[in-house]
Copies of this chain bind each other. A is one copy, B any other.
Amino acid sequence: MDGRTDSTSTWLGAPLQQLPTPALTLDRATMQSNAERMRERCQALGLRLRPHVKTHKTLEGAELATGGTRRGIVVSTLAEAQFFAAGGFDDILYAYPLPGGRLEECAALAQRLEAFQVLLDSPQALALLRQHPLPPGKRWLVWLKLDCGNSRAGVRPTDPSAMALARAIAEEALEEVMLVGVYAHCGNTYGCRDVQAVQAIARATTSAVLDFVTALRQAGVPCPQASIGSTPSCSHPVPEMAQLTEVHPGNYLLYDLQQTLLGSCHPEEVAIRVLTRVIGHYPHRNQLLLDCGWAALSHHGRDQLPAGCAAIEGHPELRLVGLTQEHGQVEAVDGQLDFGRYPLGSTLALIPFHACATAAMHPVYYVHAEGKVVELWHPVRGW
């Protein structure tokens, strides 16, 4: 079903420059260092790191992010949950509003794993769990999703229904359901323009979560865990986050152009590239054509000027101005292109705006060290 995946193993050991393009490449040393630094940051705060795997969706990436333990990850689809469970992972939090039609699959995971955990934000979802009790000895492990300003899923912690729902999860059926913790995604950090603004949101989210946990405890409702996440907030954590029990960033393993612009990372910490080749010279319109279109890069960043969908590594004189399915159009930032610098067939490396979106376009990632392909990672997809 995949025209190239079967033959990708022939590229192990090959110099990066020989890869067929477009190719998604990941720098192993950079990912290792990103993983270590995030672990160190969390250790310094006494926080558990529960990496989200939705950016790369690979066993190898999750192994790196968990420091080899294969314990404690977040997924956002059931396909991911099943893939990582089959790959030997456990303590998997399926941090997505519970899908009513797929409770049997959730129950199968709950029985198969030591700790398959689900998330909900409505009494209806709790009722669904109650309609599908697990066998004796197993309880549904439930996180309550809080919306602390991100305005997507979640109950607002200041809404009285939040306390009522937490209490219902914790107390309604002690043998069937357990309230593990509260979970908030501060995705609103992506709207920031600098680290200071990111930290203000991280502080507000932490405070909203902790206030809610305090209120729960005062009301006698046990809530062992409190988790927030997003790569911007966890790349520059505020001290208040030490009062949480865990965090769940994901993108940081690769980082991307967007994270650089947000201040989450330095350019040299971005591990992801799309390798592409020059396939056309068009002097009359002062353009190069690349063999990388939106099918290999995605459209993300298209409306985020001046960044656009990608930067071209080592070539500040170039900018990507257009993408169709399999073509990228490149112009000079100023003046005339020196076409001799970019011969037909020569490679360029694109730094994508949004790693999650670019990774989703590729059946295989070429992981490299010292200029050679050392691993091939195959992501899960679908739902």
Listed in ascending order, the chain A residues whose CB lies under 8 Å from chain B are 1-5, 18, 20-23, 54, 76-80, 82-83, 96-97, 99-102, 121-122, 124-125, 147, 151-153, 156, 159, 187, 277, 279-282, 284-285, 287, 289, 291, 294-296, 298-300, 302-303, 324-327, 329, 344-345, 356-357, 360-364, 378-383
Contact = CB atoms under 8 A, between A and B. Distances in A.
Contacts of A362: 382
A2 B303 contact: no
B280 A153 contact: yes
Copies of this chain, complex-wide, total 2
Given A344-B100, A363-B382, A122 B3 contact: no
A324 B281 CA distance: 36
A147 B289 CA distance: 13
Contacts of A82: 3
Nearest to A4: B382
Main secondary structure of the interface of A (DSSP, over half): loop
Contacts of A379: 1
A152 B4 contact: no
Contact of A345 (B18, B100, B281, B294): B100
Given A101-B345, A326-B96, A344-B124, A2 B382 contact: yes
B325 A76 contact: yes
Nearest to A152: B327
Given A300-B299, A302-B299, A324 B187 contact: yes
A10 to B, nearest CB: 12
A361 B121 CA distance: 27
A147 B299 CA distance: 24
Contacts of A122: 280-281, 344
A271 B55 CA distance: 31
Contacts of A21: 99, 101, 383
